[in-house]
Amino acid sequence: MRLAEIETLALNIGLAVFAAYIFFIIYDLAKKSNAGKFGTAILFFALGLGLAAFLVKTVVVYMIEG
């Protein structure tokens, strides 16, 4: 395995772990604030948009670079 392949694999795994950690933080925030079902959904939607924008940017840059 070449170094570039290892770096790509590590980046993908790191981004997946980062995304899971962000969702855990949002869940924990909703739980500690007693947000309820609707409030939890709003938190995941609003705060999840920031994560989604980061991931979409990564995909778009990857597609542009070819």
Tell me what the pLDDT averaged over the chain comes to.
Answer: 90
- Determine how many CB atoms are found less than 10 A away from the CB of residue 15: 13
H helix intervals, 1-66? 3-32, 36-65
Question: What does the pLDDT read at residue 12?
Answer: 86
The answer to whether the predicted template modeling score (pTM) of the entire model surpasses 0.85 is: no
Name which residue leads in pLDDT, 58 or 9.
9
Q: For 33, phi and psi rounded to 5 degrees?
A: -95, 5
